[in-house]
């Protein structure tokens, strides 16, 4: 008797670039296709995936597979490790075997930016993403609001794909604000959002990271008061520790905040909302997943 192996929540998809579209000076949309992308789970919101890129001189990607793939990947010599970066699914169309990923064109010259600047239809890559055949929660979604009176979505350009994807999936009666800091005025993208969500683009225009986002959050109408038993704010050393916490309140809250972007800026925003504005820290999801001046983690 042949034993059927259980389906894992995530799987590796071998993909090819179907289309490349420059959205603005800082954003490019890459549409991937693949023979089995019809099995890619369309979970919406801020679904996280891994994008693996070819090494120089390679036509495709060869990653270890299986539940321990990451440990075996990290054990490879550095020159044999395909660059792997974390991104958000901008849109998935399983019926067309297509997945869109919006990439930010940083000026740091890292492998992902170099690939994004020269990518062409026909290029090969690999996506580690959710398998629709898995009967359960896949993970990789951090937008998990309880019943809330209002929403606050705030982030820099690296969070724009997630925030815009969230806005497009919100219920029609959602209310709140989305604050998006981007490098240039031309980076303000069209996005569908419920009428009760006010979307504000905040171009830095040469300013430092957070120079527009921090004051915009400080000026936001949060309509919240002192939290009952929220506890003190514990600062995180963003140079040594991961700034990442995604609580799921069990009861309704007057406002739910989702913050993502550069770690130092997100730490400032979190402290402002909880310590200075009285927002219950159990209703603040914050993800500081990159650090100014540091290489992107795999």
**Domain edge (last residue) among 96, 130, 164:** 130
For residue 217, being part of any structural domain is answered with yes
Does residue 143 lie in a domain region?
no
List Cβ neighbours of 118 (8 Å cut-off, separation of 6 or more). none
Does residue 139 sit within a domain?
no
Residues 125 and 157 in one domain: no
Is 47 in contact with 150 (CB distance < 8 Å)?
no
Residues of the chain with pLDDT > 90, as a percent, come to 66
Can you give the pLDDT at residue 228?
44
pLDDT band at 245 (very low <50, low <70, confident <90, very high): confident
Whether 141 is covered by a domain: the verdict is no
107 and 170 part of one domain: no
Tell me: do 168 and 212 sit in the same domain. Answer: yes
Shared domain for 205 and 273, answered yes or no, is yes
pTM of the model: 0.90
Q: What is the pLDDT of residues 259-284, one digit of tens each?
A: 999 999 999 999 999 988 888 888 99
- Residue 297 within any structural domain of the chain: no
Q: Are residues 122 and 158 in the same domain?
A: no
Residue 285 lies in a domain: yes
Domain co-membership, 242 together with 158: yes
Domain containing 60 equals 10-130
* Count of CA atoms in the C-beta half-sphere (13 A) of 170: 30
DSSP classification of residue 206: T
Give the domain-ending residue among 99, 130, 161. Answer: 130
Final residue before a domain boundary, out of 130, 158, 180 = 130
Q: What is the DSSP letter of 187?
A: G
Do residue 162 and residue 109 come from a single domain?
no
Q: Which CATH number do you get for residue 221?
A: 3.40.50.80
Give percent above pLDDT 70 in the chain.
89
Are residues 119 and 160 located together in one domain of the fold? Answer: no
**CATH code of 47's domain:** 2.40.30.10
Instruction: For residues 97 and 62, state if they share a domain.
Output: yes
Evaluate whether residue 167 is within a structural domain. yes
Contact predicate 176/150, CB 8 Å: yes
Whether 1 is covered by a domain: the verdict is: no
d(CA 140, CA 129): 9
- Domain match, 237 and 119 both: no
Cα-Cα-Cα-Cα dihedral of 39, 40, 41, 42, to 10°? -120
* Residues 46-105: tens digit of each pLDDT: 999 999 999 988 888 888 877 788 889 899 998 889 999 999 999 999 999 999 999 999
User: 6-56: per-residue pLDDT in tens?
Assistant: 888 999 999 999 999 999 999 999 999 999 999 999 999 999 999 999 998
Do 152 and 284 sit in the same domain of this protein? yes
Pair (228, 264) in one structural domain: yes
**CA 56 to chain centroid:** 26
Query: How many domains does the chain divide into?
Result: 2
């Amino acid at each position: 008797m042949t034993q059927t192996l259980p389906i894992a929540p995530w799987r590796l998809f071998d993909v090819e670039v179907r289309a490349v579209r420059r959205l603005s000076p800082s954003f490019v949309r890459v549409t991937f296709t693949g023979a089995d992308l019809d099995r890619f789970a369309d979970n919406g919101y801020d679904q996280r995936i891994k994008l693996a890129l070819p090494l120089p001189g390679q036509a495709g990607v060869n990653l270890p597979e299986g539940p321990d793939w990451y440990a075996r990947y990290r054990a490879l010599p550095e020159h044999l490790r395909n660059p792997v970066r974390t991104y958000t699914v901008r849109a998935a169309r399983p019926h067309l075997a297509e997945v869109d990923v919006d990439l930010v064109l940083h000026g740091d010259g890292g492998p992902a930016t170099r690939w994004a600047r020269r990518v062409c239809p026909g290029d090969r890559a690999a996506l580690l993403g959710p398998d629709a055949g898995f009967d359960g929660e896949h993970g990789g979604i951090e937008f998990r609001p309880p019943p809330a009176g209002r929403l606050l979505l705030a982030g820099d350009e690296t969070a724009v794909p997630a925030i815009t994807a969230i806005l497009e999936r919100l219920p029609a009666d959602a209310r709140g604000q989305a604050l998006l800091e981007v490098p240039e005025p031309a980076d303000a993208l069209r996005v569908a959002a419920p009428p009760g969500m006010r979307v504000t683009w905040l171009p830095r225009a040469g300013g430092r990271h957070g120079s527009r986002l921090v004051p915009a959050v400080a000026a936001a109408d949060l309509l919240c008061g002192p939290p009952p038993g929220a506890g003190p704010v514990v600062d995180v050393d963003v140079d040594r520790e991961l700034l990442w916490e995604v609580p799921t309140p069990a009861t309704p809250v007057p406002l739910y905040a989702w913050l993502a972007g550069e770690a130092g800026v997100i730490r400032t925003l979190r402290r402002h909302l909880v310590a200075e504005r009285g927002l219950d820290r159990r209703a603040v999801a914050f993800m500081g997943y990159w650090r100014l001046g540091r290489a992107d983690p795999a």
